[in-house]
């Protein structure tokens, strides 16, 4: 019997570096019943897949808490859970700022006291090291205490992590600054006891400990502030949701909070207001700005019977809307949930950094000890020099930069995509989209509009006007529910034609329709229907016109009145205007383009030719679409499938990247890895965004790795072996702090990505 698998999202606090997230992944991932565990440092969240028969969410949380972190089950994606996380992040940021100001004030005073004379700033005699060595040392001791208190988190988190055998970045800072502090306190005691006073007074490291804590705290503050900004996209989406709505009950109006809206409620939406939930217009007429959803700048006319989407803007006119989807079921809520889920996911490229981060801190600690011992015993430089090397190696190392390199770029990239109408569901999809070598398009609803339209009307009788013919044909077709009939009626109504009521209407399956309109017997259908009904046979020219329409992928309809051919109509599912440019752009990128459709060969090739596609698979059944995608994969292509219908869902799931049109149905959208909310042009945006994000990730990883590869040997004194300088621990701490800031700042550049 196969065990069921559940997924649980957790919010985790207390993580300070990639070593923390890697440790949680390793420990929890090894628990019986846990299938997978992904921890995201940037979003402070985790997604765990587990077998509920073997392990419970409570046991998972307890395991995380035993590692020294706090965990709770995440609430519904979007909404209050996001707001609570943001509020907590802002509170932490404010607390960090409160601690940072006094820490820096005391650090500046400490640095001036310890290093002032070296840069030509004379000290008062009562503080001068040569005149009052004990006072000089004691004041430094007193100045460093408030700094260490403000940075107490490093010790409260770092030492317990060390005792648990899972040291992290806080452990490095705690050991480095703690060693400097303890050594300096011992020196202060010896100065007080009169032991080698001048030697000890020049060998104090209070300023190193204090300035290190201040600089690292500054780096953590800047990093946290930058991370808060990575959620700007979600915040902007949520800002579109109105806080309250006007409920209509028995013709009375009442303002209620958005959370109180129930399915079936009638809501009044005034001009200039945003529609609160997804629903159906039951009364009124207006134009609605749906640009936040579709990207279409022109407002869309809405009247009774039309669907509306929450957060779209009512431009003019009063609308009464019946709520159909509320809370987490609305389109916007689902978009927000999708973006948040993607931001919490990982790209495969992050695996290397995660594996290294797990062993990074212990390795650095060993290197720091070995470097210090080597200089003390082999370099014969004395304990003070060896201690400085030991501290520098500890504080130069930064696992944070490696841990933040990937998730911050994914957070900002997916958020920016949402702003541009491209919803990326996971980091894996974002990474895979960069590698796509073939794009397979469904035809109907993807390359075409998905609805038949009257494209041509050729009148064969000179004395009859086009308007008169269209009126007769549309009036006759108004009795039919066939999609081709709907296309004709729609064309007539768009021209403002008044259609008489047809009588004696009859639909002949597979042939056409007959009806009497204003006393005229009208026939509409294929050539065979005309012949069977005794209509004057069409001549060669008429048949050539019909054949020409068929060659263009259009359906030709013969129209007759009172036994005489009147006209030939052409109906087609029009190609989207942006399709040819999109196909050409893909081909310029070196991507092979295919079209996959269930339509007949003639129609499929006609549409494909208009779009600029030469590779066509026609008359393909839904179950065969998956096989076609698999066949392309077998040829070595990395395939992206673009579709919008139920019959596309299996192929979307099979492709390396399934790309669903946001105008499609739920099944297709759920099957897709990427959803295009603003039409085909979003495909190019998605591919460009993928490339930009992956480039950004590689830049981050390069700088994170190169920083440590160069920084650690320099801190260990390699340059000093060849007559070069050593690395002051304070400079090492500042560099370490700024490495994480630089990675997050580089990721934030994606906020300005343009398709």
329 within 8 A of 262, measured Cβ to Cβ:
no
- pLDDT, residue 224, reads 75
372 within 8 A of 717, measured Cβ to Cβ:
no
Residue with structure tokens 């398009």? Answer: 441
Q: Is the pLDDT of residue 160 over 70?
A: yes
- pLDDT, residue 118, reads 66
d(CA 235, CA 226): 14
Give the pLDDT confidence of 89-141 residue by residue, as tens digits.
788 888 888 888 999 899 889 888 887 766 667 778 888 888 888 998 899 99
Q: Where is average pLDDT lowest: 236-240, 291-295, 396-400, 609-613?
A: 291-295
Query: What is the pLDDT averaged over residues 616-632?
Result: 84
Cα-based distances in Å from 517 to 320, 493, 726? 37, 16, 98
563 φ, ψ to 5°?
80, 10
Q: Is the pLDDT of residue 344 over 60?
A: yes
- pLDDT, residue 201, reads 83
- Which band of pLDDT confidence, cut at 50, 70 and 90, is reported for residue 295? low
520 within 8 A of 472, measured Cβ to Cβ:
yes
Axis crossing angle, helix 152-163 with helix 133-150, rounded to the nearest 10: 70
Q: Which of 265, 354, 442, 599 is catalytic?
A: 442
As a 3-state breakdown, the chain gives helix, strand, coil percent values, each rounded to 5, of 55, 20, 25
Give the pLDDT confidence of 635-653 residue by residue, as tens digits.
999 999 998 765 677 888 8
Strand partners, 452: 573
Radius of gyration of the chain (CA): 35
87 φ, ψ to 5°?
-65, -40
- Within a 10 A sphere around the Cβ of 475, how many other Cβ atoms? 24
Q: Is the pLDDT of residue 696 over 60?
A: yes
- Give which of 579, 586, 603 is closest to 639, Cα–Cα: 586
172 within 8 A of 159, measured Cβ to Cβ:
no
Query: What is the pLDDT averaged over residues 177-182?
Result: 85
Q: The tokens of 750 are what?
A: 């994606």
- Within a 10 A sphere around the Cβ of 315, how many other Cβ atoms? 14
Residue with structure tokens 């009052």? Answer: 132
3-state secondary structure of 511: coil
- pLDDT, residue 733, reads 66
d(CA 637, CA 438): 6
Q: Any catalytic annotation for residue 442?
A: yes
- Give which of 496, 539, 534 is closest to 514, Cα–Cα: 534
What is the DSSP code string of 306-370?
A: -EE-TT-EEEES-EEEEEEE-GGGSHHHHHHHHHHHHHT---TTHHHHHHHHHHHHHHHHHHHHH
């Amino acid at each position: 019997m196969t065990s069921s698998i559940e997924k649980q999202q957790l919010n985790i606090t207390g993580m300070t570096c990639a070593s923390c997230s890697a440790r949680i992944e390793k420990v929890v991932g090894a628990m019986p019943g846990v299938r997978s565990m992904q921890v995201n440092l940037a979003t402070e969240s985790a997604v765990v897949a587990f077998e509920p028969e073997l392990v419970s969410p409570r046991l998972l949380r307890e395991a995380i808490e035993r590692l020294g972190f706090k965990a709770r089950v995440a609430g519904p994606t979007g909404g209050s859970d996001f707001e609570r996380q943001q509020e907590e992040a802002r509170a932490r940021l404010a607390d960090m700022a409160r601690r940072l100001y006094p820490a820096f004030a005391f650090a500046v005073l400490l640095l001036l006291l310890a290093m002032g004379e070296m840069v030509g700033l004379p000290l008062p005699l009562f503080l001068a090291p040569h005149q009052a060595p004990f006072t000089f040392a004691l004041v430094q001791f007193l100045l460093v205490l408030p700094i260490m208190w403000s940075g107490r988190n490093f010790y409260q988190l770092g030492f317990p992590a060390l005792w648990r055998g899972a040291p992290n970045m806080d452990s490095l800072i705690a050991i480095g600054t703690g060693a400097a502090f303890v050594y300096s306190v011992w020196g202060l005691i010896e100065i007080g006891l009169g032991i080698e006073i001048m030697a000890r007074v020049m060998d104090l490291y209070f300023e190193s400990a204090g300035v290190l804590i201040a600089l690292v705290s500054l780096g953590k503050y800047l990093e946290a502030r930058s991370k808060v900004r990575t959620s700007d996209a979600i915040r902007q989406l949520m800002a579109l949701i109105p806080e309250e709505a006007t409920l209509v009950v028995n013709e009375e109006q009442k303002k209620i909070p958005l959370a109180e809206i129930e399915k079936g409620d009638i809501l009044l939406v005034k001009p200039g207001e945003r529609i609160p939930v997804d629903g159906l217009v039951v009364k009124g007429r207006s134009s609605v700005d749906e640009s936040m959803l579709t990207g279409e700048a022109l407002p869309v006319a809405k009247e009774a019977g039309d669907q509306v989407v929450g957060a779209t803007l009512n431009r003019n006119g009063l609308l009464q809307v019946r709520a159909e989807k509320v809370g987490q079921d609305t389109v916007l809520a689902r978009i927000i949930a999708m973006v948040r889920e993607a931001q919490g996911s990982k790209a495969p490229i992050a695996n290397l950094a995660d594996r290294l981060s797990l062993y990074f801190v212990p390795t650095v600690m060993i290197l720091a000890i070995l470097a210090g011992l080597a200089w003390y015993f082999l370099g014969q430089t004395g304990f003070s020099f060896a201690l400085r090397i030991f501290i520098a190696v500890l504080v130069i190392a930064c696992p944070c930069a490696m841990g933040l390199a990937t998730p911050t770029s994914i957070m900002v990239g997916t958020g920016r995509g949402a702003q541009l109408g491209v919803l990326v569901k996971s980091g894996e999809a974002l990474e895979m989209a960069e590698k796509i070598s073939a794009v397979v398009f469904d035809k109907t609803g993807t390359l075409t509009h998905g609805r038949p339209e009257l494209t041509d009307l050729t009148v064969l009788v000179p004395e009859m006007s086009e308007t008169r013919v269209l009126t007769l044909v549309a009036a006759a077709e108004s009795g039919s529910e066939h999609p081709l009939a709907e296309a004709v009626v729609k064309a007539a109504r768009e021209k403002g034609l008044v259609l008489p009521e047809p009588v004696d209407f009859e639909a002949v399956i597979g042939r056409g329709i007959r009806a009497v309109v204003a006393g005229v017997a009208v026939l509409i259908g294929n050539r065979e229907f005309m012949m069977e009904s005794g209509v004057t046979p069409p001549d060669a020219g008429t048949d050539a016109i019909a054949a020409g329409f068929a060659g263009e992928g259009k359906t030709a309809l013969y129209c007759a009145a009172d036994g005489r051919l009147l006209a030939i109509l052409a109906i087609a599912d029009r190609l989207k205007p942006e399709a040819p440019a999109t196909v050409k752009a893909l081909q310029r990128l070196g991507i092979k383009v295919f079209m996959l459709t269930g339509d007949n060969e003639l129609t499929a090739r006609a549409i494909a030719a208009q779009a600029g596609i030469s590779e066509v698979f026609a008359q393909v059944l839904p179950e065969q679409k998956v096989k076609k995608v698999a066949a392309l994969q077998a040829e070595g292509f990395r395939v992206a499938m673009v579709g919008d219908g139920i019959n596309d869902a299996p192929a979307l799931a099979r492709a390396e990247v399934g790309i669903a049109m946001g105008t499609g149905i739920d099944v297709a959208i759920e099957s897709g890895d990427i959803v295009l909310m603003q039409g085909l042009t979003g495909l190019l945006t998605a591919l460009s965004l993928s490339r930009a994000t992956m480039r950004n990730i590689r830049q981050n990883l390069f700088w994170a790795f190169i920083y440590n590869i160069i920084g650690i040997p320099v801190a260990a004194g390699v340059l000093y072996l060849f007559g070069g300088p050593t690395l002051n621990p304070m400079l090492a701490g500042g560099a370490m702090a700024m490495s994480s800031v630089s990675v997050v700042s580089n990721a934030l550049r994606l906020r300005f990505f343009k398709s």
